[in-house]
Structure 1
Amino acid sequence: MKALCWHGKNDIRCDTVPDPKIEDARDVIIKVTSCAICGSDLHLMDGLMPTMKSGDVLGHEFMGEVVEVGQGFTKFKKGDRIVVPFNINCGQCDQCRRGNWSVCERSNRNAEMAAAQFGFTTAGLFGYSHLTGGYAGGQAEYVRVPMADVAPMKVPEGMTDDDVLFLTDIFPTGYQGAEHAEIKPGDITAIWGVGPVGYFAIQSAKVMGAERIIAIETVPERIALARKAGATDIIDFAQEDVYERILEISKGKGADSVIDCVGMEASGAHGIAGMVDAVKEKLLPAERTTALDQAIRAVRGCGVVSVPGVYGGPVSVNMGSIVQKGLTMRSGQTHVKRYLEPLTKLIQDGKIDTTSLISHRSTKLEDGPDLYKAFKDKKDGCTKVVFNLS
C-alpha cells in the first residue's frame, strides 16, 4: 500500500509499505477514506520529536471503512465507517477508568521509554514516534487500529467525512483548550495562533459564551479564519504590541484566560526577545516559548493559562509570574474519547463549522510531500490539508 513516511528532517516521502495485518482479537483494519496533515506533524517534519525512525508511517487524523476485524470482535462490522481518535485506549487501566484517555497506562508499547522522558507514560499514539508506541499512522491507504473496541466511534447516519474527520484530534483539542481555560459567559479570552486548533478553540470559546475573543496571528489567511470562527478582536503580532493591546481591550485588567495553541514552534518575538530566540535556535534545537511567555504576561491575576499547544521537552517558563499572579496552568494531550459524543452533537446542531479551514485537498498520497511543505511554509494560502482517498 501507499503511505506517507518520515525519512529525516524535512524528508517526507510517499512509499510503498506492507499492508497492515490483524495482530490481536481487539484489532480492526480500516481502509482510510480521509486523513489530514496536523500542525503536530510539522514538529516531526522539523525533527523536534525524538525516537523517530526512517520509514515510520505518519498521520494521526484519519477515518475510514472497516475491512477486517479480529476474531470475536463485535463493536464494529465490515463496512462500518469509523472515526479513530489519535490516542489509543485500553479501557481497563486506572486512567482510562477515570476518563483520562490521553494517559492510558497500557496502550503505549514503549511505556518505559515515555516514562523516562516524562515521568509517567503517555497513551499510545498513531504515527507519532516510538516514544508513544511506534504505531503506524493513518496517512496511508490502510491502518491497523488496536484496541478498537474502546476509543473509535461509528459515524452517525447522514454525516460526511468532512463533518467528522476533525473529531480525531483538532476539534477536541481546541475544545479541551477552551474548557481548560474555564471560560464563563462574559469573559475575555485571548488565543495565540489560528492554525486548525486555534480555529476550533475560537469556535469553542464562542459556544461557551466568551464576550471578547482575541486572536493573536499575523498570517492573512489565518486572520480571515479567526474572524470567520468568531474572534471579536485581532492582534497582528508583527504590527502591534500584544501585551499593550490586550491591556487596552481589557481596560487594564488583562484577559480572564489565555490559550496557547502554538506550542514549541512559536515565532514572532520582536526586539530583544526576538534576538534571544534567534541565538537559542542557532545554539541548540530549543523549543520557542514566545506565545507562552506573552500569554502568561497578558492574563489577569488569578487567571487561567491553557496550553493545548505541543511541547516535547523542558522549556524556560516565567514561574515568578505564575506564582505572584496566582495563575492556574492546565495542559495535556487531548482526552479525545471524552468529547466525541458532545462535539458530534454540536456539529449536528450547526454550532461548529468543520470545513472552512480546509484550503488544500488531494485524492493522492503521492501529493503528500509537496503538501507538507506548503503547510509548513504557509504558502499558497495553506491552512489545512485533507486527503480524500475514496
Structure 2
Amino acid sequence: MKLTTTICGTDIHIFKGEYPVAQGLTIGHEPVGTIEKLGSAVMGYTEGQRVVAGAICPSYTSYATQDGFPAQDGGYLDADGKCSCHGYKATGGWRFGNHIDGTQAEHVLVPDAQANLCPVPDGLTDEQVLMCPDIMSTGFKGAENANIQIGDVVAIFAQGPIGLCATAGAKLKGASLIIAIDANSERLAMAKKLGADITLNYTKVDVVDEIMKITGGRGVDSSIEALGLQSTFNQCIKVLKPGGTFSSLGVYSEDLVIPIANFAAGLGDHTIRTALCPGGKERMRRLMNVIETGRVDLSEMVTHTYALDDIVDAYDLFMHQRDGVLKIAIKP
C-alpha cells in the first residue's frame, strides 16, 4: 500500500520512551493510500484502488475478537511474541508501529487485508479521511463509551485531535450541551465548529467550579478525558454526576490516583470506561459514511503537509506544538 499518513501523539510517547514497542520498527499507524500489490488470498480489491486501513488491524481469529474486543486481539502472539492461535493481549490489535513496521514510510504491508482494507468513496480526499484510521475512530469511541443520551450534558477535557473528534462524536450522539476544555484558543474555536456549545480556557477559570455552576450543581452526565494526565483525570471525576459515565481516551504515562471524595468512596454508581480505537473494514466504512454524507468534516484538522523526506522537521513541529499544528499530512 502506497501511503499518505500522519503523526500521532502516541508516536511522541514512543519517541520519548514512554510507551515501549518492538525495537527497530518503523512507527506510525494511520494509513491512507492506494493498493500497490495484492496478496493471492485477498479478494474483491484491485491494484491502484484507494483504501484506508484502521490503526488497529485485528486478525479476527482470536478469543478477544470473538468476545467483542478486537483491539485487544493478541491472537497472533504468545507471551514471547511468537505466533499463537488464540489469546488476549492488551492493545494487541495495534500492530502498525507496535509489533510490525508502521506507516511512516512510502509503503506498508497491511496484515489480514481482507478484514482491514476499506475502499475510499469517490470524491473524498486523503485529507478528508486521514482521521479515520485512528483519531476519528478513537474520539468517536470515546463518545460511544460515554453512554451519551439525547439531551445529555457532556464535558470533554482537552481539545487536541482526539478531543476534537470526541466533541464531534458527542454532537452526533445527541448531547444537548457540550462543554469543551482547553487552553489553546485556536483549538477551542475549532471545538465550536465541531459542536461545542461552551468552551472553557482552564488557564482563565476554575473549570470544575464553572462546570458545576453551568449544571446547577448537578454535574455532567458524561465526561471524556482526551489527554492522559492525572489533573484532567481528576477533573473528569469531580464534575461527574452520581451515576455518570467517565470515558477515558488518554494515554497515561504514570500511575493514577482516584480522588475518593468525588468518587463517593466507590459508592457513587459511576462508570469508568477505557478504549483503544476500533479498527476493521466495517468501522472504517461507517466513519467514511459520516464524512461522505456531510455530517462531519475533519479536513480542517490537517493544518500542515510535509514530504516524507522532511518527516524529522514535521516531528519537531508536532512535538513542540508550533504554528497552530493539529495534524500533519505526510506524503511520499
The TM-score normalised by the length of structure 1 is 0.78
Matching residue of 2:330: 387
Counterpart mapping for 1:38-187 below 5 A: 38-51=8-21, 53=23, 55-107=24-76, 109=77, 111-112=79-80, 120-129=89-98, 134-187=99-152
Query: What is the count of residue pairs matched by the alignment?
Result: 324
Aligned to 2:14, the other structure's residue is in SS state helix
Q: C-alpha separation between the residues in 1 aligned to 2:79 and 2:297?
A: 37
Contact 2:120 2:288 in 1 (8 A): no
Q: C-alpha separation between the residues in 2 aligned to 1:73 and 1:52?
A: 27
Contact 1:104 1:122 in 2 (8 A): yes
Deviation at 1:227, TM superposition (A): 1.5
Deviation at 1:156, TM superposition (A): 2.1
Give CA deviations for 1:188-237 in whole Å, capped at 9, x if unaligned.
Answer: 10001111111111111111111111111001221121121121111111
Deviation at 1:121, TM superposition (A): 4.0
Q: Which 5+ residue runs of structure 2 have no aligned equivalent?
A: 83-87
Deviation at 1:112, TM superposition (A): 4.6
Correspondence 1:242 to 2:183: no
Pair 100,75 (structure 1): closer, same or farther in 2 beyond 3 Å:
farther
Correspondence 1:329 to 2:329: no
Matching residue of 2:287: 343
Matching residue of 1:37: 7
Aligned to 1:144, the other structure's residue is in SS state coil
Deviation at 1:123, TM superposition (A): 2.3
CA RMSD of aligned residues (A): 2.0
- The residue identity in structure 1 corresponding to 2:195 is G
- The residue identity in structure 2 corresponding to 1:122 is T
Give CA deviations for 1:334-378 in whole Å, capped at 9, x if unaligned.
Answer: 22235323222211110101211111112x112211221211221
Q: C-alpha separation between the residues in 1 aligned to 2:279 and 2:42?
A: 22
Contact 2:183 2:202 in 1 (8 A): yes
Pair 126,91 (structure 1): closer, same or farther in 2 beyond 3 Å:
closer
Aligned to 2:203, the other structure's residue is in SS state coil
Counterpart mapping for 1:18-37 below 5 A: 30-32=1-3, 34-37=4-7
Pair 39,121 (structure 1): closer, same or farther in 2 beyond 3 Å:
closer
Pick aligned residue for 1:292 from 233, 248, 252: 233
Matching residue of 1:286: none
Counterpart mapping for 1:167-316 below 5 A: 167-263=132-228, 266=229, 289-311=230-252, 314-316=255-257
Pick aligned residue for 2:320 from 362, 377, 380: 377
